[in-house]
């Protein structure tokens, strides 16, 4: 299964999605919270519903039922992550953790995290692992950084940063640097000086275009 971890705080346009993990076009997902204050839940709902403005043939409703397709928790373990698309059906536990978010989290940061994780829940993958992504990674530095800051082993780093998506599995358009699914990182993370600024705080048109391709009318 695909569970995507996010730890980086996070022009041709387009994106990448997982073909085999998409929901059914026209489906209405049910989403619930396992915990969290009413205020935090409300802020997450408001941010996540931004994906509804993309014009894709997928919808969701917020539910109090214990068993829903997407179940959100706020486990304070220093991690934010989400299962990708229908992989959420493979677990009885939460399918998304927003462990970085609190009632007082700055709005821009909350929006960045929520939109990114909900993108995964809808089937979107990491943009920096797009087959056309131009990044030549400084592998030793990145291994060291994530081991020290997140406790990640090399396999976890490879999975979340270095491994390119299989073109047979991934539904791709052109690489999109402004995608909300793209990590932000400094120039020393690459050996060719490529970097992504801390500016992917909202859904880009390329994200909306990819979502419409994933869920056509």
120 close to 88: Cβ distance less than 8 angstroms: no
CA 159, 165, 167 angle in degrees (round to 5)? 160
Would you state the pLDDT for residue 4? 42
Would you state the pLDDT for residue 10? 26
Q: What is the mean pLDDT of residues 170-198?
A: 81
160 close to 4: Cβ distance less than 8 angstroms: yes
Q: What average pLDDT is seen over the chain? A: 86
Whole-number percent of the chain with pLDDT over 90: 58
Quick check: 69 pLDDT over 90?
A: yes
161 close to 4: Cβ distance less than 8 angstroms: no
Would you state the pLDDT for residue 177? 79
| Parent domain of 178 | 3-214
Instruction: Write the pLDDT tens digit of every residue in 134-169.
Output: 888 999 999 999 899 888 899 988 888 888 877 666
Measured distance CA(148)–CA(14) in Å, rounded: 33
Would you state the pLDDT for residue 188? 92
Q: Could you tell me the CATH number of the domain that includes residue 10?
A: 3.40.390.10
Quick check: 18 pLDDT over 90?
A: no
Quick check: 15 pLDDT over 60?
A: no
Quick check: 17 pLDDT over 80?
A: no
Long-range contact set of residues 79-82: C-beta below 8 Å, sequence gap at least 24: 79/5, 79/7, 79/150, 80/5, 80/6, 80/7, 80/113, 80/117, 81/3, 81/4, 81/5, 81/6, 81/117, 82/3, 82/4, 82/117, 82/118, 82/120, 82/121
Nearest to 198 by CA among 214, 209, 182: 182
Nearest to 121 by CA among 47, 200, 14: 47
Based on DSSP, count helices (H) and strands (E) in the chain, helices before strands. 5, 8
Phi, psi for 3 (deg, rounded to 5): -120, 125
Question: Residue 50, Cβ neighbours under 10 Å: how many?
Answer: 16
Would you state the pLDDT for residue 3? 42
Number of domains in the chain: 1
């Amino acid at each position: 299964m695909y569970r995507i971890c996010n730890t980086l705080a996070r022009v041709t346009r387009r994106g990448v999605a997982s073909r085999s993990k998409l929901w059914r076009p026209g489906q209405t997902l049910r989403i619930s919270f396992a915990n969290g204050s009413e205020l935090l839940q409300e802020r997450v709902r408001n941010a996540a519903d931004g994906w509804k403005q993309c014009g894709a043939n997928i919808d969701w409703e917020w539910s109090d039922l214990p068993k829903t397709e997407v179940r959100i928790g706020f486990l304070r373990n220093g991690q934010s992550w989400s299962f990708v698309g229908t992989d959420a059906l493979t677990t009885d536990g939460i399918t998304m953790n927003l462990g970085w978010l609190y009632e007082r989290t700055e709005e821009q940061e909350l929006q960045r995290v929520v939109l990114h994780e909900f993108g995964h829940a809808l089937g979107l993958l990491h943009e920096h692992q797009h087959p056309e992504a131009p990044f030549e990674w400084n592998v030793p530095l990145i291994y060291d950084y994530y081991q020290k800051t997140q406790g990640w082993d090399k396999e976890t780093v490879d999975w979340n940063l270095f491994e390119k998506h299989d073109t047979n599995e991934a539904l791709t358009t052109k690489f999109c640097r402004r995608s909300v699914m793209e990590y932000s990182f400094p120039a020393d993370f690459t050996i060719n000086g490529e970097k992504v600024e801390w500016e992917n705080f909202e859904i880009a048109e390329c994200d909306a275009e990819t979502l419409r391709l994933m869920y056509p009318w």
